[in-house]
Homo-oligomer: A and B are copies of this chain.
């Protein structure tokens, strides 16, 4: 307990030092070294993720080599790239060398070409070759994220022979817990978990233990593969080339990283920003501005549509100023209903619960949901507006709410699917765009009803 409190205190101290804007004097550097070295690795990682590149590099330099490499390994690739700018060549080469081939490639993707080249050339021949295998696949493909270091086990091998071979070669492999079985030509024929081999009688051939392999092709989309592979709770997924030959394994932790990046992107886009690829506090301010300004401008320009719509009805507005009082309420409710539908469908799409071809099914569901929601809100709106104003205003507000909810839920549910159909990211077209669209359409509905009911 006491010890735990000590750790928490030291975490605080270290964090305050690293986040301060002042230069550190040599005495502080010494204290920082003692603190960072003494803390559990997971606390050091959490702190480093939250500080800027200069300070992160400083921590790496002060830590014992092995711990420094572990911390570097745990950073996001974008932050690794930032930190590399701050480190000397020799250090960089060492960190780079210690990464798994697939993590090396992910880091290279974040770096300027000349630095990437220099790093690649710093590797020894076998490491460069194995990294080259991964680099050979397109960005976004599962081949680009797999580990190319796989065991070579054949169906006729006995359990004992397999265990002996694994014991010798294990240090070169990313995982030994999922064992793909291949023919002499490296064609994948099955898969067996280490646990099954470990528990089998010595003389049992692997061919008897293995089951049909679930696998992916190296050119498959990495996000899609991660989404269906992770719920199966397997530790690794064999990856094959176009002719079914084993080329690598996608480990669960790499699949999880892929899914997390995708979730981060979806969340960011749903909020109308570009994804950051980096922890919030260590992201430079102007990078945050850049991630938002374009969307904000695009949305503001599309909102000019609402100005146009209102200008069309300027006469009606002048005739009954009371109509303008309800504008934010009606557009807001439309936006909210649309967002609810869009959020639910976008997430369902990402999780694979809904697919492109479910378009009509989704529209039919959302149409009915929108009508129920609209009926409830419309009734409440009718009663309130009738009490405060009069029955005519009540009728306008009630009818508009009903129609706006029905329309917004349908559009909100449909948009992510349409986006996907035309090849765009469902999250891009989502919440803020739907709000703007529902604003404009809702206003038209509102004024048409108002004009006919009020006779203006």
Interface residues of chain A, those whose CB is within 8 Å of chain B, are 19, 40-42, 45-46, 49-50, 74, 166-167, 170-171, 176-177, 195, 198-199, 212, 214, 228, 230-233, 235, 252-253, 256, 263-264, 266-268, 270-273, 276, 279-281, 285-286, 288-289, 292-293, 295-297, 299-300, 303-304, 306-307, 310-311, 314, 317-318, 321-322, 324-329, 331-333, 335-337, 339-340, 342-345, 347-348, 351-354, 358, 361-362, 365, 368-369, 372-373, 376-377, 380-381, 384, 405, 431-432, 435-436, 439, 443
Return chain B residues, CB-CB under 8 Å to A314: 321-322, 325
Does the CB pair B285–A336 fall under 8 Å? no
Give A214 Cβ to nearest chain B Cβ, in Å.
6
Does the CB pair B317–A324 fall under 8 Å? yes
Does the CB pair B230–A256 fall under 8 Å? yes
Give A291 Cβ to nearest chain B Cβ, in Å.
8
Does the CB pair B340–A272 fall under 8 Å? yes
CA A331 to CA B289, docked complex, whole Å: 20
Does the CB pair B279–A335 fall under 8 Å? no
Does the CB pair A351–B279 fall under 8 Å? yes
Return chain B residues, CB-CB under 8 Å to A436: 332
Selected contact of A353 from candidates B166, B176, B256, B279, CB within 8 Å: B279
Return chain B residues, CB-CB under 8 Å to A45: 231-232
Assuming the contacts A252-B252, A325-B307, A435-B335, asked whether A285 and B340 have C-beta atoms less than 8 A apart, the reply is no
Selected contact of A365 from candidates B288, B345, B351, CB within 8 Å: B288
Return chain B residues, CB-CB under 8 Å to A264: 347, 351
Does the CB pair B292–A306 fall under 8 Å? no
Look across to chain B and name the residue whose beta carbon is closest to the beta carbon of A374.
Answer: B296
CA A332 to CA B297, docked complex, whole Å: 12
Give A66 Cβ to nearest chain B Cβ, in Å.
12
Assuming the contacts A232-B74, A267-B343, A351-B279, asked whether A435 and B332 have C-beta atoms less than 8 A apart, the reply is yes
Return chain B residues, CB-CB under 8 Å to A199: 167, 170-171
CA A268 to CA B270, docked complex, whole Å: 11
Give A218 Cβ to nearest chain B Cβ, in Å.
15
Give A370 Cβ to nearest chain B Cβ, in Å.
10
13 sampled A-B residue pairs with Cβ under 8 A = A45-B232, A50-B353, A176-B195, A252-B253, A270-B270, A281-B348, A285-B369, A296-B336, A297-B376, A299-B336, A306-B328, A327-B328, A328-B439
Return chain B residues, CB-CB under 8 Å to A335: 335, 435
Selected contact of A325 from candidates B46, B310, B322, B365, CB within 8 Å: B310
Return chain B residues, CB-CB under 8 Å to A303: 328-329, 332-333
Return chain B residues, CB-CB under 8 Å to A336: 272, 295-296, 299-300, 432, 435
Look across to chain B and name the residue whose beta carbon is closest to the beta carbon of A242.
Answer: B1
Return chain B residues, CB-CB under 8 Å to A306: 328-329, 332
Does the CB pair B281–A353 fall under 8 Å? yes
Give A172 Cβ to nearest chain B Cβ, in Å.
12
Return chain B residues, CB-CB under 8 Å to A263: 263
Does the CB pair A373–B293 fall under 8 Å? yes
CA A232 to CA B71, docked complex, whole Å: 10
Assuming the contacts A326-B307, A344-B271, A347-B264, asked whether A288 and B377 have C-beta atoms less than 8 A apart, the reply is no
Look across to chain B and name the residue whose beta carbon is closest to the beta carbon of A49.
Answer: B353
Look across to chain B and name the residue whose beta carbon is closest to the beta carbon of A289.
Answer: B372
Selected contact of A253 from candidates B166, B233, B272, B280, CB within 8 Å: B233
Look across to chain B and name the residue whose beta carbon is closest to the beta carbon of A46.
Answer: B352
CA A46 to CA B227, docked complex, whole Å: 11
Return chain B residues, CB-CB under 8 Å to A253: 233, 252
Does the CB pair A328–B325 fall under 8 Å? no
CA A377 to CA B372, docked complex, whole Å: 38
Selected contact of A271 from candidates B331, B339, B351, CB within 8 Å: B339
Return chain B residues, CB-CB under 8 Å to A368: 285
Does the CB pair A376–B327 fall under 8 Å? no
Assuming the contacts A268-B344, A273-B344, asked whether A195 and B170 have C-beta atoms less than 8 A apart, the reply is yes
Return chain B residues, CB-CB under 8 Å to A340: 271-273, 292, 295-296
